């Protein structure tokens, strides 16, 4: 894993790993993000469900080889892979789960213990989060991808929440990026603060 920057570093204007200026990268990422999100939605529910089942199977196989852990996941948004059935199965197998919560802009995510059926309330962008504030530190994170590259760098929604979160979590926290193969890019033009995923799973990564 690359050296991790402090959360405040994300606000700096700098040249990244491949030498592009941040102003250039932000414009390029914005364009790619819009295109990839539109492409994901246009794929349609049936196609995404098919892709999602393949991702689900791969993730189950990955977890089957490991002891019980605390698994941070996310509530699906804008056609993302739906990890909820996977997490329900993992909980039955002895794992525990946590959902991310945005507390303030430009700050790391807070992870709250999650149990199926417990009370949820609307968070940022009206995404459900646990009402009970039982804060935990995940051992492994299932992280959504808008885009990704061969070096396992992730293109997200642009808020920097996961970068800030990973920068303050233990270095041995495992990150499993999940998305569809159509989101693959030659490079995301990584910057000094970008942190690559440990593994990336798509429907065709088997």
Helices (H) and strands (E) in the chain, counts: 4, 10
Predicted confidence at residue 138, as pLDDT, reads 96
Q: Tokens at residue 30, please?
A: 């914005």
Asked if residue 9 is part of any domain, the answer here is no
Kindly report the average pLDDT of the chain as a whole number: 89
Asked if residue 206 is part of any domain, the answer here is no
Q: How confident is the model at residue 206 (pLDDT cuts 50, 70, 90)?
A: low
* CATH assignment at residue 40: 3.40.50.10420
Q: Distance between CA 118 and CA 6 in Å, rounded?
A: 34
Asked if residue 108 is part of any domain, the answer here is yes
Q: What is the pLDDT of residues 167-190, one digit of tens each?
A: 988 889 999 999 999 999 999 999
Residues 117-150 as b or e (16 or more Cβ within 10 Å = b): eeebeebeeebebbeeeeebebbbbbbbbbbbbe
What is the span of the domain harbouring residue 126?
A: 17-201
Q: What is the pLDDT of residues 1-58, one digit of tens each?
A: 333 333 333 333 444 555 668 788 899 999 999 999 999 999 999 999 999 999 999 9
Predicted confidence at residue 18, as pLDDT, reads 59
Asked if residue 33 is part of any domain, the answer here is yes
pTM for this prediction: 0.87
Asked if residue 2 is part of any domain, the answer here is no
Q: What is the pLDDT of residues 121-158, one digit of tens each?
A: 998 888 999 999 999 999 999 999 999 999 999 999 88
147: nearest Cα among 12, 40, 16, 48: 40
Based on the structure, what is the number of domains in the chain?
Answer: 1
Asked if residue 11 is part of any domain, the answer here is no
């Amino acid at each position: 894993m690359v050296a991790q920057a402090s959360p405040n570093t994300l606000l700096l204007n700098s040249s990244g790993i491949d030498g592009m200026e941040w102003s250039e990268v932000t414009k390029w990422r914005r364009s790619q993000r819009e295109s990839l999100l539109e492409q994901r939605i246009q794929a349609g529910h049936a196609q995404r469900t098919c892709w999602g089942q393949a991702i689900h199977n791969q993730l189950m196989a990955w977890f089957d080889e490991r002891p019980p852990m605390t698994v941070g996941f996310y509530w699906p948004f804008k056609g993302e892979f739906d990890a909820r059935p996977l997490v329900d199965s993992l909980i039955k197998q002895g794992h525990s789960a946590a959902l991310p919560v945005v507390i303030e802009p430009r700050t790391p995510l807070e992870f709250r213990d999650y149990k199926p059926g417990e009370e949820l309330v609307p968070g940022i962008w009206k995404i459900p989060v646990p009402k009970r504030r039982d804060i935990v530190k995940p051992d492994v994170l299932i992280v959504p991808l808008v885009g990704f590259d061969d070096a396992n760098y992730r293109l997200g929604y642009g808020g920097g929440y996961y970068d800030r979160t990973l920068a303050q979590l233990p270095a041995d926290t495992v990150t499993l990026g999940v998305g569809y193969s159509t989101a693959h890019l030659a490079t995301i033009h990584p910057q000094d603060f970008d942190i690559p995923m440990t593994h990336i799973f798509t429907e065709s990564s088997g």
